[in-house]
Structure 1
Amino acid sequence: MVCISHLTYHYTHFMELTNVSSTFSWVFYIALSVVLTLVIHKLKQLLGFRKKHTLPPGPKPLPIIGCLHLMVFNKPAFRWIHKMMDKMNTKIACIRLGKVHVITVTCPEVGQELLVRQDNIFCSRPVHMSTQIPTYGYLTVALTPHGDQWKKMKRVVTSEVLSTQKHSWLHDKRMAEADNLTRYVYNLCNNDGCIVKVRTVAQHYCGNVIRKLMLNKRYFGKGRVDGGPGPEEIEHVDSLFKILGYINAFSISDYLPWLRLFDLDGHEEILRNALECIKKYNDPVIDERIDMWRRNGKKEEKMTEEAQDILDVLIRLTDPSTGAPLLTSSEIKAQILDLMLAAVDNPSHATEWALAEMLNDPKILERAVEELDQVVGRDRLVQESDLPKLNYVKACAREAFRLHPVSAFNVPHVPTADANVAGYFIPKGSHVLISRISLGRNPKIWKEPLKFKPERHFNPDGSQVNLVDPKLGLLSFSTGRRGCPGVVLGSTMTTMLLATLLHGFTWTTPPSMMSSNLVESEDDLSLSKTLHGFAKPRLPKNLYPN
């Protein structure tokens, strides 16, 4: 400003000396006014920049790598993040990893701001090696960044795959797998009872259901006479869980892409091997079916054949403008895998934890079984039509989602523009993570947050218990436009799995154990040791499927 005034003085003096016409003087003053206005505006922007661009608090980053060194030396990263936020006493933090701002949130108010009120901004996904591989280069709905491909696949999944109509259409396939679950556990136990690995049973029930819905198959091989999984199904489900374990697992190359060539943490090799294993089983079924439908599609009279599963539905979709197939072979394969990944972990994880907690508190177990006897009785097996009346069983499942979420954070959201949240600046392209742990165990929301109390979820008006919470007191299936489109299927599978195990069998802690081990694994949120329960049939023998 001083320099500009000084320049003005000399220019005016020059004008007086040279007697330049007043017209040029006015031109100068107008130009000077414009310059001054622009300078003042720029100064205001600079002065306001700090206020507008105040990032959430977090550890001080190093040049280039940011806080990657802290993440690498404090594994698992999610436990380090929560401890760091507790120590800083903050509900929102910023951790710079490479050039990426990772924003972590631990309170429902900020979560609602992100997923509800500013949902239109926080609607994309990050580009990660760990998500690029299983999505076949982002061809699916759950993990694909916002754009035309995501919009296309979301329309397909919500209207053609996970609609209310399709849910009803697939009812018999789900019930067939509930019956098979009962048969399998019964064959393990016979009449005398036996020790059952609950995690194994729960995971393979979920694998059976989603295979039946997607591919109309329980077994890829011969299976087992007792209803249990064969080696092919074990390998298939294990590979699904391996991929789930490495999706968004804070791989170094996700934040320093030039290091991907070296695969320093080994994540890429693990993911590619797991994907190849799944393709070994999925692809022959899918390729054969695509060939069958597209061959038959050329014969007008054969198009009256009905679809039998979701694979048929996806293959038969056509572009309304051209009549050509709507989805490519790669899109079909990627979306089938996407749905399989989404269905196997949440229901099985919640059921294992719920049953572990119930075995440690027999009164809760007894109350759930009493409800099943009142609603279902002992002269038939539990059905999906019973679920709306099983409020206590659903409350047990919801409490497991609250206290024992399947993962520490939700799938990351990415803002498509700069945003302000909770008084902080969130840069475009940040990776925003909401803590499932901190929401569900928040002492300001839940009394005795670390205690398993299903009755806390009863509604005062007596209405049905829901497994989701729009107020984000817990995060079971997420919410907003990037929320899980399979909430109905996931809720049905979870409640049906828990209800079938409780109704068909009497569960006690194995004689060699005083109580269930309720210790979390250090690396994730599963039980540190798989739950072993002593199961004994409790219904008339003729009810158990042969």
Structure 2
Amino acid sequence: MDNAATALWNSLLHQLSNVSSTFSTTFLRFSTTLVVMGFALYYLYKFLFVGKSNMQPDLPPLLVKPWPIVGSLPEMLRNKPTFRWIHKLMEDANAEIACIRFGNVHVIPVFSSEIAREFLKTQDVVFASRPNIISSHIATKGYLGTVTTPMGDQYKKMRKVTVNEILSPVRHRWLQDKRDKEADNLVRYVYNLCMSAGGLVDVRVTTQHYCGNVIKQMFFSTRYFGKGKENGGPGFEEEEHLNAVLTLLGQIFAFCVSDYIPMLRGLDLDGHEKIVKEALRAVEKYHDPIIDERIQQWKNGEKSDPEDLLDVLISLKDGKGNPILTVDEIKTEILELVIATVDNPSNAMEWALAEMLNHPEIFKKATEEIDRVVGKERLVEESDFPNLNYVKACIREAFRLHPIAPFNVPHVSLEDTTVDGHFIPKGSHVLLSRPALGRNPKVWEEPLKFKPERHLKQDGVSLTLTDADLRFFSFSIGLRGCKGIHLGSTIVFMLFARLLQCFSWSIPPGNGPTIDLTEEEDSMYMAKPLVAVAKPRLPAHVYPVHLA
């Protein structure tokens, strides 16, 4: 037994030795293969990705060396207002495109028309979204509107409604009588100031409320939320509403820290969210009761035919007869259009009138054109606009030299791309500088001088207020361009033409020989609101003296 067991044991050891040798050889070969494959994959990765990354264009020049995690937010907080700080950095660097990192967001300021066209024309589709900003998120009830909503199904839905149902040429013609009513009230109000207040007119207040009145007529069929004043001017309710609207305008895209570090939202470290919520409540105090009551009237059958744009929005139905818009979508869409209407036309009018008071020869040319085209026995009408090129040139020049905002509404890149030889990462915020584009000495001769003639180079061509080459910025272009260009242009044309036609304007006694054109530090408004003396220049019977 012992010999047999020994023989068996020896045989087993021999076989195990063979297996071990085979396993060792196989393991060695397998390990060697893994190592070789590892090296191969490593160099393949370097060739395809690391090498490619090395060949990738650089970001635009960094204006400030970013800190870890927070980027250049500490510098942003130390240098208010942020837009002037960014412009100073760009000017010091003599840069046409640059980069600042706030948190993990690459903010790309652009000072060149040529580069701006690459963003909004050549690669328009890539930069067709909007940033997720706390103020616009609050104001639009979670992006239920059009202007500030990021690219997606909700934006496409609301854009279709805006273009086809609110701002279409058919609707524009349908609402002309409401616009005419407010144009007449504008003249009546200023005429009454001439008769009762010595002609002293706060141009900013007058023009802002006119713009607000137009959009209120179009949506609510009303000029006043309260009683208003007997002379046609705004009452307390209009003043409160307008101040809240302008506050919302000033807070949207206001370089808030939590916009770049979202985890800080809710803490409201700089009071930004509180300001937006309070202003929104003030606006909704006037909008919501009208909207809610009107919706109920349509449900009860008290209304069946649209009289204004609110009725249009309520009456929109899908193929099954269900409302296309929710109540919150209706409220948000109206709020966005009210916000978008008030500031741009009124700001252009205030600056243009101030510049023309400092250049009487320009004033004379503009009024002579109106007298030649329209005469003095009737008021300017919308049908006259195509023939008033010099007047429109004055407005274009005001938009060029004195834009309402330092930057356009930010565009966000939907993917990595290259612009002007620079790498633009997905999610970057692109800011086109309105003053830098309009005052670029490479594009405009004497860029800081108010010269309407510079826009009159093509005889017989009716001017518009937009510039497709982005040499100045009045209304945005492209996929996310302003859908209300026609309406906005009509409002500012009428505002400007009526005030020039109906009144002569002069600098108040004691103000010095010229108007101070200094900009406000925290905005692009005139530092001192324009106050001027108005006197009637038409026969008395032309003025609408009764309240419409």
How high is the TM-score relative to the length of structure 1? 0.92
2:507/2:515 contact within 8 Å kept: yes
Aligned residue for 2:418, secondary structure, equals: strand
Pick one of 46, 54, 61 that aligns with 1:57: 61
> Are residue 145 (structure 1) and residue 150 (structure 2) matched?
yes
Aligned residue for 1:392, secondary structure, equals: helix
> Are residue 156 (structure 1) and residue 161 (structure 2) matched?
yes
Q: Distance in 2 between matches of 1:133 and 1:261?
A: 12
Q: Distance in 2 between matches of 1:25 and 1:99?
A: 47
Report how far residue 335 of structure 1 moved: 0.4
Letter matched to residue 347 of structure 2: H
Pick one of 41, 47, 54 that aligns with 2:51: 47
> Are residue 292 (structure 1) and residue 297 (structure 2) matched?
yes
Q: Distance in 2 between matches of 1:34 and 1:73?
A: 50
Q: Distance in 2 between matches of 1:541 and 1:188?
A: 14
> Are residue 318 (structure 1) and residue 304 (structure 2) matched?
no
Aligned residue for 1:281, secondary structure, equals: helix
Letter matched to residue 86 of structure 1: E
Q: Distance in 1 between matches of 2:481 and 2:424?
A: 21
> Are residue 232 (structure 1) and residue 230 (structure 2) matched?
no
Specify the alignment match of 2:218 in structure 1: 213
> Are residue 74 (structure 1) and residue 72 (structure 2) matched?
no
> Are residue 487 (structure 1) and residue 485 (structure 2) matched?
yes
Specify the alignment match of 1:539 in structure 2: 538
Q: Distance in 1 between matches of 2:411 and 2:429?
A: 6
Q: How does 1:423-442 map to 2 (within 5 A)?
A: 423-442=421-440
Root mean square deviation of aligned Cα: 2.2
Write out per-residue CA displacement over residues 379-400 of structure 1, whole angstroms, 9 at most, x where no aligned residue: 0111111111110111011000
Specify the alignment match of 1:475 in structure 2: 473
Q: How does 1:185-204 map to 2 (within 5 A)?
A: 185-190=190-195, 193-204=198-209
1:140/1:153 contact within 8 Å kept: yes
1:190/1:537 contact within 8 Å kept: no
Letter matched to residue 70 of structure 2: I
Specify the alignment match of 1:527 in structure 2: 526
Write out per-residue CA displacement over residues 172-207 of structure 1, whole angstroms, 9 at most, x where no aligned residue: 100110000000000011289421110000000001
Q: Distance in 2 between matches of 1:181 and 1:226?
A: 10
Report how far residue 36 of structure 1 moved: 2.5
Pick one of 82, 89, 92 that aligns with 1:84: 89
1:191/1:537 contact within 8 Å kept: no
> Are residue 36 (structure 1) and residue 40 (structure 2) matched?
yes
Aligned residue for 1:262, secondary structure, equals: coil
Q: How does 1:381-530 map to 2 (within 5 A)?
A: 381-513=379-511, 514-530=513-529
1:459/1:465 contact within 8 Å kept: no
Write out per-residue CA displacement over residues 49-103 of structure 1, whole angstroms, 9 at most, x where no aligned residue: 1342521112110012110111111111111111111222221111111111111
> Are residue 268 (structure 1) and residue 273 (structure 2) matched?
yes
Write out per-residue CA displacement over residues 230-286 of structure 1, whole angstroms, 9 at most, x where no aligned residue: 110111111110100111010111112233333222111111111001000000000
Q: Distance in 1 between matches of 2:292 and 2:458?
A: 52
Report how far residue 30 of structure 1 moved: 12
Q: Distance in 1 between matches of 2:168 and 2:35?
A: 64
Q: Distance in 1 between matches of 2:325 and 2:197?
A: 52
Q: Distance in 1 between matches of 2:421 and 2:49?
A: 18
Write out per-residue CA displacement over residues 387-433 of structure 1, whole angstroms, 9 at most, x where no aligned residue: 11110111011000000001000000011111111111111111111
Specify the alignment match of 2:114 in structure 1: 109
Q: Distance in 1 between matches of 2:272 and 2:35?
A: 60
Q: Distance in 2 between matches of 1:399 and 1:64?
A: 43
Aligned residue for 1:432, secondary structure, equals: strand
Specify the alignment match of 1:132 in structure 2: 137
Aligned residue for 2:412, secondary structure, equals: coil
Identity, % of aligned positions: 53
Specify the alignment match of 1:349 in structure 2: 347
1:395/1:455 contact within 8 Å kept: yes
Q: How many pairs are equivalent?
A: 522
Specify the alignment match of 1:8 in structure 2: none
Pick one of 234, 250, 256 that aligns with 1:251: 256
Report how far residue 43 of structure 1 moved: 3.0
2:144/2:332 contact within 8 Å kept: yes
Letter matched to residue 472 of structure 1: L
2:119/2:127 contact within 8 Å kept: yes
Pick one of 326, 338, 342 that aligns with 1:340: 338
Q: Distance in 1 between matches of 2:118 and 2:47?
A: 31
Pick one of 362, 365, 379 that aligns with 1:364: 362
Aligned residue for 2:158, secondary structure, equals: helix
2:134/2:258 contact within 8 Å kept: yes
Moved over 6 A (4+): 28-31
Specify the alignment match of 2:15 in structure 1: none
Aligned residue for 2:285, secondary structure, equals: helix
Q: Distance in 1 between matches of 2:265 and 2:33?
A: 58
Extract unaligned runs of 5+ from structure 1: 1-16, 297-301
Aligned residue for 1:312, secondary structure, equals: helix
Extract unaligned runs of 5+ from structure 2: 1-20
Specify the alignment match of 1:380 in structure 2: 378
Report how far residue 38 of structure 1 moved: 6.3
Pick one of 119, 124, 138 that aligns with 1:119: 124
Q: Distance in 2 between matches of 1:70 and 1:191?
A: 51
Report how far residue 35 of structure 1 moved: 6.2
2:57/2:421 contact within 8 Å kept: no
Letter matched to residue 56 of structure 1: P
1:199/1:530 contact within 8 Å kept: yes
Letter matched to residue 520 of structure 1: E
Letter matched to residue 314 of structure 1: L
Change (3 A) 1:264 1:41: closer
Aligned residue for 1:92, secondary structure, equals: coil
2:392/2:464 contact within 8 Å kept: yes
Q: Distance in 2 between matches of 1:393 and 1:437?
A: 22
